[in-house]
Amino acid sequence: MIELYTSKTPNGRKVSVMLEELGVPYKAFMIDLGKGEQFAPDFLAMNPNNKIPVIKDLDNGQVVFESGAILIYLAEKYGRFLPAPGTADRVAVLEWLFFQMASIGPMMGQLFHFRNYQGEPQAYPIERFSTEVNRIFKVLETRLAAAPYLGGAEYSIADMAAYPWAKLGGFLGVDLDTLPGVSAWLELVGARPAVQRGINIPE
C-alpha cells in the first residue's frame, strides 16, 4: 500500500497518474497548501522542504519526496514505465524526465505566479517567463514531431511528469495550434483512462 500526500497541482498529479497507471493500492491524503498544512510538523518530518508530493510505502516504511524521485522509485519497485538500466531507452526517458524537472515545471510555475499572484502585472518577469515557456514548448515540439512519446516509442514516467504541466500551456498563452506534435501527444496521453482518473486526484 502506498500513501500519497498531495494537492491539486501539476506536481502532485504526476504521482497520482503514475499510481493509477500502476493499478496498485494507494490512499491519497490532501495537503491544503492554502492553509499551510505543508508546514505541519508531521509533514515536515517526511519532507523538510515542505513541498508536495510525498509518498510513504507501507510495505517497507520508505518515505520519498520530490516528484521525479517518486516516479523513479515507483517505476523501479513495480518494474514498469522505465526501461532497463544500461539501455539507450532508459537514458532518453531520464533525459526528458529531468527536462521537466529543470525546465517545464519551474518556468511555467514562475509564469503562472507572475501572471496571477503579483497583483499589478509586472511586464519584465511576464515577458521573460513567457519567452522561456514558449521556447520550452518548441523544444517539446522538436521531440514530439519525431517520436510519439517523450522517451521514444513507449509511454513512460517522462510523459507522466510533463503532461500535467503541458496541458496548461494554452492557459499560459502558448499557441498549441502551431505545435502539432505537442497537440497530438497531449491528446494521446490525455485519452488514457488512468491519466483521466489521476489528473483529478485529489478530487
pLDDT tens digits for range 137-163: 999 999 999 999 999 999 999 999 999
What does the pLDDT read at residue 121? 72
What does the pLDDT read at residue 43? 97
What does the pLDDT read at residue 118? 65
- What are 64's strand-pairing partners? 55
Q: Rg of the chain's alpha carbons, rounded to an integer? A: 17
Same domain, 45 and 97: no
Among candidate residues 51, 50, 143, 155, the one with its CA nearest the CA of residue 103 = 143
Same domain, 145 and 116: yes
**CB count in 10 Å sphere of residue 203:** 6
- Residue 201 resides in a domain: no
Burial (CB < 10 A; 0-12, 13-18, 19+), residue 60, is: exposed
C-alpha distance across the termini of the chain, in Å: 20
Please report, for the domain that includes residue 47, its CATH number: 3.40.30.10
Same domain, 62 and 130: no
Same domain, 121 and 149: yes
What does the pLDDT read at residue 115? 82
Whole-angstrom distance, CA of residue 188 vs CA of residue 167: 12
In the chain, which stretches have pLDDT less than 70? 118-119
Same domain, 178 and 132: yes
* φ, ψ for residue 62, nearest 5 deg: -70, 130
What does the pLDDT read at residue 113? 87
Same domain, 58 and 111: no
Please report, for the domain that includes residue 102, its CATH number: 1.20.1050.10
Instruction: Answer whether 0.85 is exceeded by the pTM.
Output: yes
With b meaning 16 or more CB within 10 Å and e meaning fewer, what string describes 95-127?
ebbebbbebbbebbbbbbebbeeeeeeeeeebe
Q: Domain boundary residue among 80, 110, 141?
A: 80
Whole-angstrom distance, CA of residue 114 vs CA of residue 127: 10
Same domain, 95 and 53: no
What does the pLDDT read at residue 3? 98
Four-residue CA torsion sign, 101, 107, 108, 113:
positive
Same domain, 145 and 115: yes
For 111-116, the CB contacts below 8 A with 24+ separation are 111/172, 112/168, 112/172, 115/172
Same domain, 129 and 179: yes
Helices (H) and strands (E) in the chain, counts: 9, 4
Domain total in the chain:
2
**CB count in 10 Å sphere of residue 7:** 20
Same domain, 167 and 76: no
